[in-house]
């Protein structure tokens, strides 16, 4: 047989105390007071737990609100960044147009045809590219391609809808040039080197050549109009025994990062006839 379960002595003591208090005069109120004191810690514990739960739920709501606000702020930041990029492109385009305005004023009949690069010469020994305009847009062979910074090259092949451009940095490119300097009107020929720089050759020994001088097209030869920027002198190469001196020229246009290009063209006959 199993032994009978006995109440713990503390439980029995509580029961006896409650009975004595109830049987005494005003025992009910005393028992209630004792019970309140006995269960007060439990009530406080339950009240504290409820308060903690309420605080936790409030914190969760606040975190959700902050997450929503953070998401809205990030969306607004992305929108503003896109707007800044767009405005920067508009500003750059305005600078392009201001830089080209002088050329248009010097040649009122000239038309600047905006073009995009759609291909490049795959050969490592050639510096050429393909643009998205051709004879249908008035682009013809030997027309000059520029940016607002300076000379890019010239058209060597023109199809109805596209054209091939020989860059000024190609070794087969040759441009009649001069120094734009109050102390020097030195002239020579600028050719490409395929190294990213240009070389100004056939400059007379007595002419003044020095670093930071601006090199522009001279207009001789009839292909390149006068006054288009080629670059700046970065190094002078002179030997007393030579008839001519040379200068290394840093191109004004980085041909590896071409964006907005223009062909200096005459209005197409078909377009003016319509």
Q: What is the mean pLDDT of residues 90-106?
A: 59
CATH number of the structural domain spanning residue 196 = 2.40.10.350
Tens digit of each residue's pLDDT (9 = 90 or more) over 193-240: 988 899 999 999 989 899 999 999 998 888 898 889 999 999 999 887
Query: What token pair was written down for 103?
Result: 């050329």
Number of other CB atoms surrounding residue 139 within 10 Å: 27
Under the banding of pLDDT at 50, 70 and 90, the label for residue 33 is: low
Range of the domain at 156: 111-168+258-269
Spatial distance between the Cα atoms of 9 and 104, rounded to a whole number of angstroms: 111
Q: Is there a domain that residue 274 lies in?
A: no
Q: How would DSSP label each residue in 237-253?
A: E--TTSSEEEEEEEESS
Same domain, 92 and 208: no
- pLDDT at residue number 63: 85
Quick one: pLDDT band at residue 268, thresholds 50, 70, 90? very low
When divided into structural domains, the chain yields a total of 3
Local confidence band at 92 (pLDDT 50, 70, 90 cut-offs): low
Are 27 and 101 members of one domain? yes
pLDDT confidence band for 34 (50 / 70 / 90): low
Q: What is the dihedral of CA 19, 23, 29, 34, to 10 degrees?
A: -30
* CATH number of the domain enclosing 150: 2.40.10.340
Q: State if pTM tops 0.75.
A: no
Question: Which contiguous run of DSSP H or E holds residue 197?
Answer: none
How many angstroms separate the CA atoms of 232 and 212, rounded? 5
Pairing of strands 174-180, 187-192: antiparallel
Residue 233: how many CA atoms within 13 Å on its side-chain side?
27
Q: Are residues 100 and 130 in the same domain?
A: no
The confidence score (pLDDT) of residue 273 equals 35
User: What is the mean predicted confidence (pLDDT) over 126-148?
Assistant: 91
The band of 182, judged by pLDDT with boundaries at 50, 70 and 90, is: confident
Same domain as 262, residue 164: yes
The β-bridge partners of 214 are 180, 232
Give 155's Cβ-side CA count (13 Å radius): 26
Does pLDDT of 22 surpass 90?
no
Query: Does residue 39 form part of some domain?
Result: yes
Is-contact 130 164, C-beta < 8 A? yes
């Amino acid at each position: 047989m199993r032994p009978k379960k006995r109440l713990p002595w503390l439980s029995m003591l509580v029961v006896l105390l409650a009975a004595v208090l109830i049987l005494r005069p005003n025992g009910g109120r005393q028992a209630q007071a004792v019970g309140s004191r006995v269960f007060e810690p439990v009530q406080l514990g339950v009240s504290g737990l409820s308060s903690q739960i309420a605080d936790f739920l409030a914190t969760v709501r606040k975190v959700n609100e902050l997450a929503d606000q953070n998401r809205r702020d990030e969306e607004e930041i992305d929108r503003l960044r896109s707007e800044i990029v767009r405005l920067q492109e508009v500003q750059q385009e305005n600078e392009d147009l201001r830089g080209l305005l002088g050329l248009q004023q010097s040649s009122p009949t000239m038309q600047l045809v905006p073009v995009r690069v759609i291909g490049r010469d795959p050969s490592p020994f050639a510096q050429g590219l393909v643009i998205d305009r051709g004879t249908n847009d008035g682009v013809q062979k030997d027309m000059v391609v520029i940016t607002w910074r300076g000379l890019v090259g010239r058209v060597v092949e023109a199809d109805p809808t596209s054209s091939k451009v020989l860059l000024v940095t190609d070794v087969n490119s040759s441009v009649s040039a001069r120094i734009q300097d109050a102390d020097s009107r030195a002239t020579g020929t600028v050719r490409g080197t395929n190294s990213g720089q240009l070389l100004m050759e056939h400059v007379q020994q007595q002419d003044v050549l020095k670093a930071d001088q601006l090199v522009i097209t001279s207009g001789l030869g009839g292909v390149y109009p006068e006054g288009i920027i080629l670059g700046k002198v970065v190094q002078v190469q002179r030997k007393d025994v030579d008839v001519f001196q040379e200068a290394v020229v840093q191109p004004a246009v980085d041909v590896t990062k071409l964006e907005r290009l223009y062909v200096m063209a005459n209005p197409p006959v078909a377009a003016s006839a319509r």
